[in-house]
Amino acid sequence: MRQLSLTTLAFAIAASTSAGAAAASSPSTSLTLYRSDDAALFSAGDSGGVQAGYAVAREPRELQLKNGVQDVNLGGLPQYLDPEAMALTIEGNSAQVLSQRLLLGQGQNAALASLVGQPVSVLGSNGQPIASGTLLRAGDGLLVQGSDGGTSLIREYAAVRAQGSFQTGSALQLRIDAQRAGATAATLSYTTAGLGWRAAYVGTLLPGDRCQMQFESRASIANRSGRDWKDAQLTLVAGEPNFAKPSAPRPMAAPVAYAMRAKADTAPLPEQDTLADYRTYTLPGAVDLPDGSVSQVPLYATRTIACERTSLFENGGGWVPPQPMIGRDYLPGGSGAIASTLQLRAFDSLPAGYLRVLTADRNGTPQFIGEGRINDTLKGSDAHITLGTAIDLRGERERTTFNVDKAGRTLDESFRITLTNAGDSARVVTVREHPSRWRQWTLVSSNNKPDQQTPDTLEFRVTVPAGGKATLDYAVRYQWSAEDHPQG
């Protein structure tokens, strides 16, 4: 017998599988997990359940059925279920499900509800039995039916004793019509929140003049579903299916991060495949996902990839106004920090996740220098992240000339960018400007030839000496028609 304490009540349960059903056969349980960006799912702190993430579970169950109509209780289910997405498939069509009812596991009733349909003994504060029989209901009191057919409603009790192993979480009550008695194989399918995954990337910059990094790819798998998963077969889905129900898990966690348990000393990488418009990663071995855990497994083989680091001073964005902005106060000059950015090219279509970047200090110890999000990135496309703000670099932007010719429908504007480098080595700073007063503009002059020019961007690379400064001067002219700006 075991004694369990829960709030002010204690219940001792030495067993309780659901009536007519054995526990799930974990080695064959399969889980399909969808990507989630919900921070609560992956953060440490409260070890309670989290209604985020989305997963499809398929659990094999063995039912001990009688001939005819009977009630079966399947317990030990997760906390966050969709009642409309639950189905029990019985092998060989030897039985039919007539109806089903989901009992949500909440608080102490999560364990008590799993005893419904089981013989129990209800004990008082003195340890003596108050009632014995079949538990019919656990909620606002216990409803127990005795062997004589009489029923007792018990509100004050100290413990509940049963045979077997109790189940926590939600429970599914089914009414089944069986054509014959005996053990019957079945599969219980359902969707649940509290499970999700996302990619976790680690890039370690390598020494040398060229930007290269050792790139590690992992899948972070969070379980805050309210139950453990043991020896599960896992498939991870990359992409963004639409969830229409308001109660669906949020798209976009544990006090202890358990290591995922592989079934071989050296586990091979996940097998990739396609699923409609999405990509799947099927793990090669069975894994354990304890409740309140975040596990990690390799997603791709670790490799060395080329990268590009940039010290970026950027003003504005690529927005174009509905008409020429000819007021002097539009986009006044200002100052700003210089961001350290990193770019890499995707060697495969990379699932969304977060990239942590490390570099070795003077002692050769890898140190964290920044983290950023990588969105779903097509193979061969570039991923960009901002590592942080450079402490030794600074940029100042000031407007040097401004002139509007309303009759000629032109506007001339020039700027000076002053870059300061307090470090002990020369640095190259990329200055990215967005001439956004109007879509029609030309670069009139600059003391540094632009490295890139697009309809909404000017980009210059400026070398700033160690302990010194460098300036960039440039001028643009905007032009418009009478239709573009009637007052201008």
Averages of pLDDT over runs of 10 residues in the chain (488 residues) are: 31 34 54 90 71 91 92 83 88 89 65 75 88 83 87 88 65 89 91 93 94 96 89 92 63 33 53 88 91 92 96 85 88 75 96 96 94 94 95 94 95 96 96 93 96 94 97 97 80
pLDDT of residue 197: 95
Q: Give the Å distances, CA to CA, from 117 to 21, 65, 439.
A: 11, 14, 73
Determine the 3-state secondary structure of 72 from DSSP.
strand
CA 353 to each of CA 93, 297, 344: distance values in angstroms, whole numbers, following the listed order: 43, 14, 14
> Which pLDDT does position 353 carry in this prediction?
94
Angle subtended at Cα 79 by Cα 73 and Cα 82, rounded to the nearest 5 degrees: 80
pLDDT the model gives residue 479: 96
Among 56, 50, 55, 103, CA closest to 76: 103
What is the spatial distance between Cα 180 and Cα 172, in angstroms, rounded to a whole number? 22
What is the predicted pLDDT for the residue at 76? 77
What phi-psi label fits residue 247: left (phi over 0), alpha (psi between -120 and 50 degrees) or beta? alpha
* CB-based contact 299:281 (threshold 8 Å): yes
| Contact (CB, 8 A) for 260 and 285 | no
DSSP symbol at 40: H
CA distance linking residue 288 with residue 295, whole number of Å: 9
Which token pair is 446?
Answer: 């600059």
Give the per-residue pLDDT at 245.
67
Residue 18: predicted pLDDT? 37
User: Looking at domain 316-340+389-479, which of 1.10.3470, 2.30.30, 1.10.287, 2.60.40 is its CATH number?
Assistant: 2.60.40
- At residue 57, the pLDDT reads 94
Specify the 3-state DSSP secondary structure of 41: helix
